[in-house]
Chain A
Amino acid sequence: MEFRFKTRTKYLINTVAVLALYFFLMFLQGDVLTRYQSKMLIPVGIYIILAVSLNLAAGFLGQLPLGHAGFMSVGAYTAALFTKNVALPIAVSFPLGLLLGGIVAAIFGILIGLPALRLRGDYLAIITLGFSEIIRVIILNLDFTGGAFGLRGITRATDFTSVFICVVITIAVLHMLIKSRHGRAIIAIRENEIAAEATGIPTTYYKTLGFTVSAFFAGIAGGLYAHYLGILDAGTFGFMKSIEILVMVVLGGMGSMIGSVIAATGLTLLPELLRGFDNYRMVIYSLLLVVVMVFKPSGLMGTYDFSLSRSIESIINSRRRKAAKKEGVSHDSHT
């Protein structure tokens, strides 16, 4: 009989693991890491949110959007303008601003997704890129966004804890979404859109849903980003930023959440790790990208789907099998 955890136990294991990770990282920040290194954990978290959310649209829905930075910028400016202009204590306005940023980004997701998702593949990529470039140009030309001078004086409210909470919520929500009838519909569209439609899946609805949820979390990440830097410049949300996020998703493996987490962490830290070779680091980064793709085209993790409780189960099961074997052998010798 194979050993299986009860569902409730699984949730308990995951909760404990998340809390343990939080305290472990807090401990590292207090005693092991330098101030500078501790600060790096924040962009790592922001990029994890961006990569995991893009993976929903790219890896699970199977579309190729190249405008994630556009949604991020919408969320960033919305959240920043909200906390700047609202007479509330930052502890209240910051989470509200993040949520609002996510919602406005999601609205943009619907507005852009509805027309754009009629196109496929590279055409979808280029049209989403076009939309995100237009968002950038508009932000540059508006007054209340600070235009080309950027938006200054944003309270630096993003700290490790807020990023950690957002990362956990993002991953949890996306996981719950993917393992449901809605998630199966989204994956079915990736696998074969015509067959999905023929099995009764409203494909347009689910494409837009996947795209919108993806945009929502990009907006949250944008809000965190704005309150991390304290200043926003529309120029940073160009198509290179979208590509940077896409690279994380593909390198980690399309359709693998853990892959996105690892790739986002690695690629955010890599340039810092290569600081000693300052001049060469971007050259190394780009070469690495080509090499990984040539030798492992499906990304580091493929579509591998990590589950802590499942890993523990398989360890326990293999131990039991070994034990059973031993017992079986000793039985044999007796008879």
Chain B
Amino acid sequence: MSALLVPAPGTPLVNATRFRQAHEPDWQRLEEIVTRMEKRSIRSLSDDDLLALPGLYRTTLSSLSVARDTSLDRALITYLERLCTRAYFQIYGVQTPASRQLARFFSRSWPAAVRSLWRETLFCVALTLGSALLSYVLIRGDPSWFYSMIPEGMTDGRDPTATAQFLRSTLYDTPKGEGGILGIFATFLFTHNSQIAIFAFALGFAFAVPTVLLILYNGLMLGAFFAIFAAKGLAFNLTGWLMIHGTTEIFAICISGAAGIRIGTAIAFPGPSSRADAAVDAGRTAATAMAGTVIMLAVAGLLEGVGRQTILSDNLRMLIGAAALMSWIGYFYALPLRKAAGGD
């Protein structure tokens, strides 16, 4: 023992020391580069640093492996672990630039996600139409059904007792008669509807039950309003009023409902993959589709808040609505998608 403890002066006693002496400058240079990347970006590095980075990273990584096996200095191992982790995230975790991500979202991820949800989307559309038909038939038969379906605050006087003239005025008059409010109105509609779309997505986690109810209720309200307008002979006019934005909006709500249903069913019936894997797969696809519906709802908000208040012709309103629907369908289902090299 004593032989070990009286070495020549200046000779390191333990591996940690020896190891540090050999590699410390490399670690410190890596740390300095990584810190700079974290603070600013990779663009703040000089060419020299950029070239040295991969080498330094690998050196430090192998230092970590060696230190774990030969050194007992825990502080040193912790230091190397954290440094390697930070460097790893800077080197491999770097995000694709926002512009390229956006381009990929529009050219591929979004339509691909919506396309893969076609079955759920079809189900939501059928559910909306079916429940609309149901409430229409019920209310035409017995108007008192209206009050059990639509909450008081929603109607603004548009209930079975309203006069035809009043109902007509709700279709063509600008609410509150203020042109300057249009912008706020459109924005409010957009944020409100987007929030509902996000809910429809998130609620899917509860085995899709609340999402289905949300879609169902949406359809019931649609049918109920149709019923009271049709009773006064205004069905055609209401169609125009609804279609200009409704084709986009209802389609968007159906897609976000489909996204929620995809998550719920993936968790309830994971199929051959594990429940966690199925949830992740469904979650990422559904999230992409859901993010897209926010864009659709922004368009719908503009059409509703501005377009509908300035365009009063029924035919033109329907034409715009139909054109919007056709372009969405074309974009989602007919656009040829380039196969991406990797990932979404």
The answer to whether A and B assemble together is no
